[in-house]
Amino acid sequence: MTDTSRFYITTAISYPNGKPHIGHAYELIATDAMARYQRLDGRDVFFLTGTDEHGQKMQQTARKEGISPRELADRNSKEFKDMAVLLNASNDDFIRTTEDRHYEACAEIWRRMEANGDIYKGGYAGWYSVRDEAYYQENETEKRDDGVRYGPQGTPVEWVEEESYFFRLSDYQDKLLKHYEDNPDFIGPTERRNEVISFVKSGLKDLSVSRTTFDWGIPVPDDPAHVMYVWVDALTNYITATGYLTDPEGPRAKYWPANIHIIGKDIIRFHAVYWPAFLMSAGVPLPERVFAHGFLLNKGEKMSKSLGNVVDPVNLVNHFGLDPIRYFFLREVSFGQDGSYSEEGIATRINSDLANGIGNLASRSLSMIVKNCDGKVPECGELSDADRAMLDSVDALHAVTREEMGKQQIHKALTAIIAVVSEADRYFAGEAPWALKKTDPVRMGTVLYVTAEVVRQIAILLQPFVPKSGRKLLDLVAAPVDKRDFAALGAAGRLVSGTPLEAPTPVFPRYVPPEA
């Protein structure tokens, strides 16, 4: 039975201290594919993305540019919104942490943690990385030959001493470990789960949750000399958007707790340690799962502004086209691991799987139908063993992809789909319908019917990954608009013989590199 239960999925919210880069685009594309998959599978989906606009990093960048943090946030948040449109992301909301609704939710969660006795005033003296917006223990930092001290993510840290509120994180060590044990799927993939467990086992210190040396943040209730530590503010975005704390009777409150937070591996500690501790303290249910994807590397090298390889997603999409780029990242990178990309890698992948794969299969089979079957979906005659095996393979894809997508193994879902395309290529070549035209036109019709039915189901299943191309393919097989979700997969939605088809136009053109 189709699972019609609600499904709430989020991306991290990005710092708009600069324009979006390819890592941001990657996370949004992957999360979008998961949201679209669940929607087509009949679930009531709420998909959230947005921007994380407070904190010292934003304030410092704005100062360097000679503008206010709000101006910086407004300018770049728009870039992130535009990117979501460019990437055809199906997010249901876009949250900005400078919105009023978010201030209210943050004040509420703070009050609840305070009422639970978990917040006290003290003084912080220790290392802070502005680039990571993170506090680090002395033993997590190292002074390098350049005389600068760096944190575990390779960003410089500075010494901070100021009055600050603390959260009693140390009280949550055992509760967190128990939660990880009782809920083995809370953190994925396994490497990240192990990393988090060993971090928590090594001992948790209370966490400084407010700052007093700058003011670009959400004021602490009843003590406006303090702004909330940006991560308290940022993590709360996931709840703000549902209204769970501030509008519990509202239409979106039902979406909390989230089914899954999709984030990058660099911010797992915030999501799998601090966030569940804050929620336990505030008496709010925890998200079901936090899944960390890997980092994208440009030809194997870490992206960095100084290396000049921070690829602009807009250029990449303009160059290769949106769906080819979406497909490349989703198929090429094992979701959860780091991935490398290059122009050659993208070209090879999209030509082999899209142009020569599904694109070619669709155009060969459908143009034969248009030419030889009166422009109509042919009758499906008696099925041979080969026909049945072919239909069984494509009918099985719903279950296979559902299983893989349920584990965030996006690349495996796509691999399974493309394997059926290859099988259909072999089937088509083996049955040689062109040779049957004169000898056995009824049999030719059956082979073409089976092939077109494979194309129909592949098209339905490709929609989460390459939405526009999936739609175009469905137009080519004249699939009715109300028969394009996963309920129409398998025998339930078989092509109807006699349906008129137009001559196919190419859906996935071959990528030819521009002349040097």
Q: Which residues contact ligand ME8 (rule: CB under 6 A)? A: 12-15, 23-24, 26-27, 52, 234-235, 237, 263-264, 266-267, 295-296, 303
339 vs 445, which CB is nearer to ligand ME8?
Answer: 339
13 vs 330, which CB is nearer to ligand ME8?
Answer: 13
Nearest distance in Å: CB 193, ligand ME8:
17
3-class secondary structure per residue, 259-270: CEEEEEHHHHHH
Residues 39 and 4: beta-carbon distance below 8 Å: no
Task: Tell me the three state secondary structure of residue 297.
Answer: strand
32 vs 453, which CB is nearer to ligand ME8?
Answer: 32
27 vs 353, which CB is nearer to ligand ME8?
Answer: 27
Give the neighbor-by-neighbor strand order of the sheet with 119-129. 134-136, 119-129, 158-167, 207-208
514 burial class (0-12, 13-18, 19+ CB within 10 angstroms)? Answer: exposed
Which among 274, 270, 158 has a CA at the least distance from the CA of 214? 158
Nearest distance in Å: CB 340, ligand ME8:
11
Nearest distance in Å: CB 344, ligand ME8:
20
26 vs 172, which CB is nearer to ligand ME8?
Answer: 26
Cα distances (angstroms) measured from residue 49 to each of 81, 82, 333: 9, 12, 21
Nearest distance in Å: CB 133, ligand ME8:
7
Nearest distance in Å: CB 271, ligand ME8:
7
233 vs 404, which CB is nearer to ligand ME8?
Answer: 233
Task: Kindly state the tokens that stand for 384.
Answer: 């041979």
Residues 348 and 320: beta-carbon distance below 8 Å: no
* Closest residue to ligand ME8: CB criterion: 264
Residues 151 and 127: beta-carbon distance below 8 Å: yes
96-113 exposure pattern, b = at least 16 Cβ within 10 A, e = fewer: bbbeeebbbbbbbbbebb
234 vs 459, which CB is nearer to ligand ME8?
Answer: 234
φ, ψ dihedrals at 32, nearest 5°? -65, -40
CA-CA distance, 125 to 162, in Å (whole number)?
Answer: 7
Backbone dihedral region for residue 133 (phi beyond 0: left; psi -120 to 50: alpha; all else: beta): left
267 vs 479, which CB is nearer to ligand ME8?
Answer: 267
CA torsion sign for 13, 93, 242, 184 is negative
φ, ψ dihedrals at 307, nearest 5°? -80, -10
CA-CA distance, 236 to 107, in Å (whole number)?
Answer: 10
CA-CA distance, 104 to 221, in Å (whole number)?
Answer: 10
92 vs 440, which CB is nearer to ligand ME8?
Answer: 92
Nearest distance in Å: CB 20, ligand ME8:
8
15 vs 511, which CB is nearer to ligand ME8?
Answer: 15
CA-CA distance, 101 to 81, in Å (whole number)?
Answer: 18
Nearest distance in Å: CB 228, ligand ME8:
13
Nearest distance in Å: CB 12, ligand ME8:
3
CA-CA distance, 476 to 363, in Å (whole number)?
Answer: 9
Nearest distance in Å: CB 393, ligand ME8:
34
Nearest distance in Å: CB 263, ligand ME8:
4
